[in-house]
């Protein structure tokens, strides 16, 4: 299933998941609107932003297909992660800017959503589960870092400007005691970035589904404001100087996560 994702295996206790970095619209592209073809809601450039991981012995799992095809960080049954709040579906029909993703009459029905779940969602999650089990068998525990980014202003989902670093631990349920607080404290040392723990983003399906300290898996999501490393307008250019500044605290955060588990 290499056409669904890329996997780089490491021997360390950490796996980094990037479920929204994919850009391909696959065979569905002809049915999609001009707005969808911009793919504005992609977690742009994350593999490049996290390229320091190549020097660390960690496992990296990245999606190839756009979240417009199917959202790998949503419940496969369509259950909302944030009941009562405005959210997008498992197979989104509107962009974050509330524009239609499909041409008139071309949105997927229930049967097609099920087919996409089997063809695109299941393989990614099967690989993630297998890698977590492999890491646990090797180390006795596994660490999961779910990497995301989003535009700094999305009125559909939140008011005003988003915090730069948004950590989610499902209100402390997805990881052991103190890990989220340790990451927050580390991030606050870099005063040029704003930081919050379990604020607007408390962790998506991946963090909540796999992060379970009782089973030896400690999961954390980082939702990073795209203003910290790229041009947020088309063509969504990577900004190397800006990105280099934010790479350093991200790397320190991952090192903090590794050190936290070793000390516990």
pLDDT tens digits, 40-59: 999 999 999 999 999 999 99
Distance (Å, whole) CA 210 – CA 141:
12
Residue 34: Cβ within 10 Å count? 9
Domains and CATH numbers, the chain: 5-263 (3.40.630.40)
Say what the pTM is: 0.95
7 within 8 A of 61, measured Cβ to Cβ:
yes
**pLDDT beyond 70 at 120:** yes
pLDDT per residue as tens digits for the range 160-210: 999 999 999 999 999 999 999 999 999 998 889 999 999 999 999 999 999
**Can you tell me the distance from the alpha carbon of 37 to that of 5, in angstroms, rounded to the nearest whole number?**
20
């Amino acid at each position: 299933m290499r056409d669904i994702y890329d996997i780089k295996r490491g021997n360390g206790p950490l796996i980094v998941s990037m479920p929204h970095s994919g850009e391909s619209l696959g065979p569905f592209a002809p049915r999609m609107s001009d707005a969808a073809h911009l793919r504005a809601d992609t977690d742009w450039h994350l593999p490049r932003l996290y390229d320091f991981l190549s020097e660390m012995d960690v496992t990296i799992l990245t999606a190839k297909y756009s979240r417009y095809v199917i959202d790998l960080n949503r419940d496969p049954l369509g259950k909302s992660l944030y009941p009562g709040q405005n959210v997008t579906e498992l197979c989104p029909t509107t962009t974050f800017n509330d524009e239609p993703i499909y041409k008139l009459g071309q949105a997927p029905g229930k049967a097609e959503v099920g087919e996409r779940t089997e063809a695109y969602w299941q393989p990614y999650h099967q690989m993630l589960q297998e890698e977590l089990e492999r890491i646990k068998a090797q180390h006795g525990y596994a660490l999961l870092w779910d990497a995301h980014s989003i535009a700094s202003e999305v009125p559909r989902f939140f008011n005003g400007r988003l915090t730069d670093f948004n950590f989610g631990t499902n209100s402390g349920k997805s990881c052991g005691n103190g890990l989220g607080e340790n990451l927050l404290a580390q991030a606050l040392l870099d005063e040029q970035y704003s930081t919050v723990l379990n604020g607007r983003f408390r962790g998506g399906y991946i963090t909540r589904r796999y992060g379970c300290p009782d089973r030896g898996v400690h999961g954390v999501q980082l939702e990073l404001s795209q203003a910290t490393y790229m041009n947020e307008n088309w063509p969504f250019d990577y900004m190397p100087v800006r990105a280099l500044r934010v790479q350093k605290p991200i790397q320190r955060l991952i090192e903090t996560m590794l050190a936290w588990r070793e000390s516990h």
